[in-house]
Amino acid sequence: MNIEEYRELWQPGFSGVVLIRLDPGTIPEEFVIYNTNTTNVLLIEDEESHDEVVHRMIEAGAPIWDDFPPRVT
């Protein structure tokens, strides 16, 4: 598991990326990493790596949303 390539996601001053909680109220909580600038989801295929990146983002104070923002057409 090498998560260093995602290090910027939990660094101070990094913005534009939030965690979106999937199915709020379920345990354990599951999150999607969402870029609000590009409207893209970051997919980390290795589950352990994904969980560790999410954990570090939460510890760093990343915003957590309960839903995706509405699409503008």
- In the chain, domain spans: 4-65
Which sign, positive or negative, has the C-alpha torsion 59, 64, 5, 46? positive
Residue 67 in 3-state DSSP? coil
| Enclosing H/E stretch for 59 | helix 47-59
Q: How confident is the model at residue 73, as a pLDDT?
A: 65
Read off the pTM. Answer: 0.87
User: Backbone phi, then psi, for 47, in 5-degree steps?
Assistant: -60, -40
Residues 6+ apart with CB under 8 A from 30: 21, 22, 23
Under a CB-based contact definition with an 8 Å cutoff, are residues 41 and 33 in contact?
Answer: yes
Is the confidence at residue 62, as pLDDT, over 70? yes
- pLDDT one-digit tens code per residue, 22-45: 987 778 889 999 999 999 999 999
